[in-house]
Amino acid sequence: MNLAIDSSQSSGSIALQTEGRIIYSANFDIKITHSETLMPAIDHALSFCGASQNDLKAVYICNGPGSFTGLRIGLATAKGIAFGLQLPLYAYSSLQLCALSATGLGKNILCCIDAKMKEVYFALYSPTLEEIIPPQILKPENLATQELGEFILCGSAALMMQPLLIAQDRHFHPLNNLLNIPNAAGLFALGEMLPHLHTPQNLAELEPLYLRESTAQIKLNSQR
């Protein structure tokens, strides 16, 4: 049985897979922190499926970019489970996970995630999720001026980007909003779609993909 965790956004999700089938999937969008919900959610999932942690064979994690606190909690949880049970840990980008729902449509995919502070995380992928532009961070108005060709637009910042892209006469296709909600179960699909990235991570070296300093660090630097 494989466990997938995504706590990169304000909402989180977990999933369980066995013999290539998803047997449990849950999203949670809550006001309290992931630290209070993630482990209870995992315990409930295993109990609901009549399993225990000893049945786990691998852990999949979404390691950013995204919420600084959520990324730290999710990665610490995944590392703890992987280390304690001696399991392989596989990591994928939250932008890849979000773009997954737009694959197979024959067009490049621009995935944009709200980074707060009037910025967006983004990456441009081929129709098969090969990286064209790696994960970066920009102000929305600056991203809208980029020459990206024709693409499908998805991600939590898609609605924010649409009027800016229209104003720049960009040729894009917005994804249905319901498909802009990623789920950890997609991490299993990424493992199959991107075999060259399906490599067990070194637990000591794996770090969240932040792309910028935390808000607290930015405020501290501005006071110096």
Answer whether 2-94+182-223 and 95-180 agree in fold: yes
Residue 74 Rama label (left phi>0; alpha psi -120 to 50; beta): alpha
Rg of the chain over all Cα atoms, to the nearest angstrom: 18
For the stretch 144-201, pLDDT in tens is: 999 999 999 999 999 999 999 999 999 999 987 666 778 999 999 999 999 998 999 9
Instruction: Show me where the domains of the chain are located.
Output: 2-94+182-223, 95-180
In the predicted model, residues of the chain with pLDDT beneath 50 are 214-223
Cα–Cα distance, 111 to 158 (Å, whole number):
8
How far is C-alpha 34 from the chain's CA centre?
15
- For residue 127, CA distances in Å to 106, 109, 211 come to 5, 7, 24
Whether omega for the bond prior to residue 65 falls within 30 degrees of 0, making it cis, is yes
CATH number 3.20.20.70 is the correct assignment for the domain at 2-94+182-223: no
Q: Is the pTM of this model over 0.95?
A: no
CATH tag for 95-180 (out of 3.30.420.40, 3.10.20.30, 3.90.1150.10, 3.20.20.120): 3.30.420.40
- Coil, helix or strand for 144? helix
How many CB atoms are closer than 10 A to CB 17? 23
